[in-house]
Amino acid sequence: MPKQTRKKTKLRKKLDQSSKDDAVLAFPPNFLWGTATSAHQVEGNNINNDWHLFEQEGYADDHQVAGSGPDHYHHYEEDFKITKDLHNNAFRLSIEWSRVEPEDNHWDKKEIEHYQKVLKEARKQGLKTFVTLHHFTNPIWFMHEDGWLNPHAPEIFQSYVMMIVKELGTLVDFWMTINEPMVFATQGYIAGVWPPREKNVIKARKVIKNMAKAHILAYRSIHNVLDKDDYQAQVGFANNVSSFQIYHKHSLKDIIFVQTVDRIWNHWFMRLTKGCHDFLGLNYYFHYRVAKARFSHWQFFTDIRKERREASDVGWEIYPPGIFDVVMDLANYKIPIYITENGIAVDKDNKRARFIVSYVKELYHAIQAGAPVKGYFYWSLLDNWEWEKGYNADFGIVDVDMKTKKRTIRESGKVYSQIAEHNGIPHDLLKFVGHVTLGEITVKD
C-alpha cells in the first residue's frame, strides 16, 4: 500500500473514531432531567393568595386572570405520565401555602391530602421530586399582617413549613424553601409591578433579610424533623442568577460596577444564609450588557434591541454561554448544583428546540470543566400563567388548550425527550446549534 494511501486510511479511522466519540455528549450517570412548575401558575383556582387579588384588580396584561389555567390540580396524573413519556426522571412543583393554610393557623386537611396524592403519584411514576415551599404567592391573611415586612414573618413561615414537613415527610426528595427571593423583593418592593406594588428600597432590603432568616429556620427545621440514620433531607433554595458583560474591559469603574451588581444579585442571599444549603438551585434566564456604568441611574443595562440581539418573545436575550459563566462562578461554593429553571417564551417552537440544545450543551461543557451540576429542569412542562404577563408568554414544551385542557407535546418537547433518554445530547441534535465535528468532514482520495 502506498505511503499516501496508508496516511489517508489512518486519517479515516481517526475520523470514524471521532464520530463515534461525538455520538452523544454524555452527562454523568444518575443525572436528573426534569421540568419545573409552580402551583399558582399551573394548578388553577388559587383564590386565597395575594396574586388572586392582584389579578382581580386588573394589573396583569390585558386584565387577564389566572382562572382554571392548565388545571394541573386535576390533571397531575396525566401530566406525570407525559413527563415519563418524555423520559424525564424528575419534576419540580410547589405547595400553594394559601391552599393548605387559607386562614392563620387553620389547616385544610383535604388540600394537604391532595399534595400527598400528587407526590405519591410522582413516586409511582419514578420521578424524583423537588418541592418548593414558597413560590412568590402569599396567603391573604399573611399579607394583612404586613407579609414579609413583619418581624415575625420567619417564624410564621416556619410554622407552615413544619406542618408540611410533618405531613409530606419523606415523600419529598429535595426541599426548596424559597423561590427567587431577590426577584420577589425587586418586583414587589422596588419595581412595584408585583404585589404589594411598592417602590421602597429599604423595605426590599428588609424583605430579603426576613426571607434569609426564614430559609435558615426552615432548613434547620426540616433536618431536625426528618433526618434519621437511613434518611438525610436535602434542602436548598432557588437562586435567580444572571450573567453580566461589560463592553470596556479595562474600565475600572465598569469592572467595579458589574462586580457589585453580581455580588448583590447572585451572591448576597447565599451569604446571608451561609452554611444552610445542601445543594444550590440555579434559575437562569438573563444576560445583561453594560455599555457604561451608571451608578446614579436606574437604567443600568444596554437595550439589546438597539443591537438587534436574538431574544425571546418577551425580550429576554438568548445567550447560551451565560449559563456556563454563572455555573462556573457558583461552583466555587462546592456543593451540588441543579439548574432548577431555564426556559424560553416563544411562539416559534423550533427556536425553543434550539434554545434547549444550546443551553444544555453549555452545561455539558461546564461539567467537563469541573462544575458539580447534577440536574437540569426546563421551565416549563406546560404553558402556564406567567405572572404579570398573564397567558401571553408560552414557555411550555407541552401546549395546553386553556379551554379544553388538552395537552399536546411540542416538537421541542420531543427534542428534550431525546436528550433525557440518552442522558446527553445525541450528535444529530447538534444541528440545532450549527455544530460540526471532525467526523462530518469528508476525506477525498
Catalytic residue of the set 101, 341, 386, 388: 341
Fold of 28-420: TIM Barrel (3.20.20)
Give residue 327's Cα distance to chain centre: 13
**Model pLDDT, residue 165:** 98
Place of cell 382562572: 67
341 is catalytic: yes
DSSP, res 432:
G
420 and 84 in contact (C-beta within 8 Å)?
A: no
**Cα 232 to Cα 23, 171, 172, 224, 273, distances in angstroms:** 37, 13, 11, 10, 20
Q: Note the pLDDT of residue 256.
A: 95
Q: Residue ranges of the domains in the chain?
A: 1-26+423-445, 28-420
* Cell numbers for 377: 429542569
Sorting pLDDT into bands at 50, 70 and 90, what band is 269?
A: very high
Q: What is the pLDDT of residues 47-101, one digit of tens each?
A: 999 999 999 999 999 999 999 999 999 999 999 999 999 999 999 999 999 999 9
Please provide the average confidence, as pLDDT, over all residues in the chain. Answer: 93
Confidence tier at 298 by pLDDT (50, 70, 90): low
**Spatial distance between the Cα atoms of 205 and 197, rounded to a whole number of angstroms:** 15
pLDDT of residue 375: 99
Report pLDDT digits (tens) over 223-268.
999 999 888 999 999 999 999 999 999 999 999 999 999 999 999 9
pLDDT at 1 over 90: no
- What percent of the chain stands above pLDDT 90? 88
pLDDT of residue 301: 86
CA neighbor of 179 nearest in space, from 203, 152, 211, 202: 211
Q: What is the mean pLDDT of residues 38-44?
A: 98
